[in-house]
Amino acid sequence: MVTDIHPAAVERVVREFGATPVEPDAIYDVDCDIYAPCALGATLNDQTIPRLKCKIVAGSANNQLQEPRHARMLMERGILYAPDFIINGGGVINVAEEFHPSGYNRDRAYAKVATIYDKLLTVFRIAQERGITTAEAAEILAEERIARALALRRIYTSR
C-alpha cells in the first residue's frame, strides 16, 4: 500500500513497484504489519493512532509524533514505535561522513549506518526493562551519548 499527497508520486510507485494506491486519509485504516511515515510529520496523533491497524511504526519522516504523549498511546495499543531520530539517522551519518578529515568513505558510512539496527534493539530493550515508551528510551540513549561526548571534550580541552 502506498499513499502520498501528490498523486503523481503514487502513480509512479504503483507503476514501478506494483503497489496498491490508498487515499491519504485512508492509510491509517489499512491492516498492515508496518506503517512507515516517510514524509509528513505529526501523522501520529489523537485522530490517527486509534485507527492504526499495524504492529510497528517505522518510517523516515521527522517528528512523526504530533506530541510526545503519542508515544504512550502507541505503546498502550501494543504498537512498537521506532523513534524517528534513530531510524532515519542514515542520512545524517552519510552527510557527516562527507566531512570526514580523510574524505568520504562509502564502506565506513555503510558500517555506521548498519549500527542503527543495534541502536533500535537497545532502545526497545531499555523501554521494555524500564516500562517506558521507546521514545523515552531513545531520549535516554541520546542523552547518555551526549554526556559521554561532552565528558571526552572536557578531557581534551582541559589540557
Q: How much is the pTM? A: 0.88
31-157 domain in CATH 3.40.50.720?
yes
Mean of pLDDT values over 24-35: 97
Q: Which ranges of the chain does DSSP label H, i.e. alpha helix?
A: 7-17, 70-76, 84-87, 90-98, 106-130, 134-157
What pLDDT does 118 receive? 97
Give the domain ranges of the chain.
31-157
pLDDT in tens, 99-145: 999 999 999 999 999 999 999 999 999 999 999 999 999 999 999 99
CB atoms within 10 A of CB 87: 22
- Check: CB of residue 60 under 8 Å from CB of residue 84: yes
